[in-house]
Structure 1
Amino acid sequence: MALSEAENVRRFWERLGLPGIIDVHTHFMPERVLSKVWAYFDAVGPLTGMEWPITYRHEEEERVGLLREFGVRHFTSMLYPHKAGMAAWLNDWAAGFAARTPECLHTATLFPEDGVAAYVRQAVESGARVFKSHLQVGAYDANDPLLDPVWGLLAEAGIPVVMHCGSGPAPGKHTGPEPVGRLLARHPRLRLVVAHMGMPEYSDFLGLAERYGEVRLDTTMAFTDFSERLSPFPEAELGRLADLGDRIVLGTDFPNIPYGYAHQLEALERLGLGDDWLRAVCHGNAERLFGL
C-alpha cells in the first residue's frame, strides 16, 4: 500500500531521530490576498509553458491541519505587500493568525513608505519573530533610504528577515546579489535569510553567507525536480553547501508548491550530504536561529 504524504514526511524526520521539522518559509495570508497569489500561479503555465498547479489549495484550517499532521513543529506566515499602504494591515492580520495558531512564528512584513519605521517597531514590540521582504513582488530596492532605520532596528533586535532577493523565477529591477551585498556592507549583523537559496544566483549568495556570519539561506523549492529543470543547483557548489550546513534552513513554500511536501525533503536527502547535515537543516539551525 502506498504511504500517505503525511506518513512519508513523518518517516523522514523519525528516521533522523528528530522531534519533527521546522519550516521557515510557509505562506498564510488573508484569503483575498492568497486567492490573488494563486491566480498568479494559475496564469504562469500558459505564459511560460510550465504549469504550476497549487498542490495544497485548501481552506486555511485544513492547511494548518496538514502541517500539524506532517509533524511541522513551527512554521511561518510569509506575507508581503506589492504596493504602499498594505504592510501595516497585513501585519495586523499576521498577529491575529499567530495568536490563534501556536505553531506559527509571528511573522511581519514591510515596504519602503512613510511610516514604515513606526509599524515595524510596533510589530517588533508586539512579538514579531520573523519578517518577510519580497524585493521581486514589491519591486523595491533593499537600500531604499526609508528602510535604513528598519534594517538597523531588526539587526539590533536579532530578528531574522526572510528576503526573496534572487532573480528567480524572473528577474526584478532590484533582485540579485549586488543590492543585497550593499545592504549587508552597511548592516553586517542583519540576520538575513536568503529565500530559495538565492535561485538562480546560488554561487553569489553562498559567497555572501561565507562573508557575513549572520546570513542564512533557506531551501525553498531548491533542489526539487521542478526547480532543477529551471535553475539547476551547480554540482560544483555542493562542497560549499556542506560547509555552510549550520546556516541552511528548511523552507518549502507550502502551500504554493506544484508537488507534494515530502518531495522537498527527498530532494535534500538525495544531495548526499549526510544525516547530520539534514538534522541541522530541517530542525537544529532554525531552532537556534529563533531560540525555540
Structure 2
Amino acid sequence: MTYQPRIDVDAVRAIDVHVHVEADEHDHLALDQELMDASAAYFRSSEKRTPTVADLAERYRSAGLAAVVFTVDATTATGHPALSSEEIAEQAAEHADVLVPFGSVDPHQGPEAVARARRLVTDHGVRGFKFHPSLQAFAPDDPAFRPLWGAIEELGVPALFHTGQNGIGAGLPGGRGLKLRYSNPILLDDVAADFPGLTVILAHPSVPWQGEAISMATHKANVYIDLSGWRPKYFPPELVHAAGRMLAGKVLFGSDYPLITPERWLEDFAGLGVPEEHHEAILKRTTARLLGLAGSSS
C-alpha cells in the first residue's frame, strides 16, 4: 500500500515532526540494547521505549496530534540491521489520518542508497528522509554523498538531519565511537548552498553550535530548525529569541518521542514567551506546508 496523507491540518492541535519508531512487528529494535539503554538513561524517559508504528498511531490519535515517524538506517556504522523504512511507510498508510512516514537510507551504500531513496518516495510514498550523521558515521559535506542529496532534491521532499549534542552513546566509553563533529550543523551549510531546492531541517537545538544553526536558517531560505530533543524550558536563550522573531516561520515543533512526550513539550512551549501569533506556524502550519499536507495554506 502506497502512503497517501489524510491528515486534517485544521483538526489536529499540532504536528510533531520528530518521532521515532523503535521496534517492528517482529520485535526487532532500531538500535542494539546497549545504545537503547544509554539513550533512555540520558533522557530519563518513563515512556515505553520501543513503540511500533501502530503504538504511535494510537498514542497520537488519542492526543489530537499528528506525527512524522521514522527510523535511522545505520547498518554500516553500527552493524545492527535497521528497521525497514518500507514497512514503516506501509504501516503508516494504515494510519494516514495521524502519521506521516519519512524514510531512511544508509549513505555508505552509495548508488544503492540513491536508488532506494527514489523507490521509497515513488513506490512507498514517504514524504521525507531522516539522517543522523553521528550514528551513521558520515560527514554531510563529503562530496561522496552529493548524488544522494541531488536525488532527494529532485524528489522534492525534505531531509531532516540530527544536529548537536547526542543522547545515543551518551555515558558510554568513547560514546560507543559516535563522533559529535559529524553533527555540527555547519557541515550542512554546503549541502543547503549547493542544493537550493532541497529543504534541510536541522533537528534539535544544535548545542554547542546553536549560533551556526540560527545563522544558517536566517541566511538560507531552504534551511529550517526542528525544536525536538530538549524540553523548551531548557532551550538556549538565543534560540528562544530567534523563534519568537526572525525565525518564527522557520522553526518546527518536534518532541523526539518517546524520549520526550509531546504533551510535556507543548506545556513548556506555552510558557516560553514566544508571541502567541507565531504559535500556529511553529506547531503545525510550517510543517504542513513543507510536507504538502491539505489545509497548509491557511
What TM-score range do you get, normalising by the shorter chain?
A: 0.7 to 0.9
Residues in 1 aligned to 2:129 and 2:35: alpha-carbon distance in whole angstroms:
23
Taking a change above 3 Å as real, the CA distance of residues 99 and 29 of structure 1, as seen in their structure-2 partners, is farther
Residue 255 of structure 1 corresponds to 258
**Counterparts in 2 of 1:24-103, with a 5 A limit?**
24-31=17-24, 32-34=27-29, 36=31, 39-43=34-38, 52-57=44-49, 60=52, 61-72=54-65, 74-84=66-76, 90-102=84-96, 103=98
Secondary structure of the residue that 2:243 maps to in structure 1? helix
Question: What per-residue deviation string (whole Å, max 9, x for no partner) do you get for residues 128-159 of structure 1?
Answer: 20110111111111133342122112223320
Q: TM (normalized to structure 2)?
A: 0.78
Identity of aligned residues (%): 23
Which is further off, 77-86 or 103-112? 77-86
Please tell me whether residue 285 in structure 1 is matched to residue 283 in structure 2: no
Taking a change above 3 Å as real, the CA distance of residues 54 and 200 of structure 1, as seen in their structure-2 partners, is farther
Taking a change above 3 Å as real, the CA distance of residues 87 and 212 of structure 1, as seen in their structure-2 partners, is farther
Letter in 2 for 1:40: L
Which is further off, 161-170 or 149-158? 161-170
Shift of 1:161: 1.0
Shift of 1:40: 2.4
Unmatched segments (≥5 aa) in structure 1: 1-16
Secondary structure of the residue that 1:26 maps to in structure 2? strand
Question: What per-residue deviation string (whole Å, max 9, x for no partner) do you get for residues 87-140 of structure 1?
Answer: 896222222222222122131012221311111111121222011011111111
Unmatched segments (≥5 aa) in structure 2: 1-9, 171-178, 294-298
The structure that is helix-richer by fraction is 1
Residue 5 of structure 2 corresponds to none
Residues in 2 aligned to 1:119 and 1:88: alpha-carbon distance in whole angstroms:
14
Residues in 2 aligned to 1:153 and 1:51: alpha-carbon distance in whole angstroms:
34
- Aligned residue pairs total 264
Residues in 1 aligned to 2:28 and 2:58: alpha-carbon distance in whole angstroms:
21
Residue 274 of structure 1 corresponds to 275
Residues in 2 aligned to 1:278 and 1:23: alpha-carbon distance in whole angstroms:
13
Secondary structure of the residue that 2:67 maps to in structure 1? strand
Q: Is the 8 A contact 1:189 1:214 kept in 2?
A: yes
Question: What per-residue deviation string (whole Å, max 9, x for no partner) do you get for residues 134-192 of structure 1?
Answer: 11111111133342122112223320111102244465241203311222222233201
Residue 136 of structure 2 corresponds to 138
**Counterparts in 2 of 1:150-165, with a 5 A limit?**
150-165=148-163
Please tell me whether residue 20 in structure 1 is matched to residue 13 in structure 2: yes
Residues in 2 aligned to 1:55 and 1:38: alpha-carbon distance in whole angstroms:
16
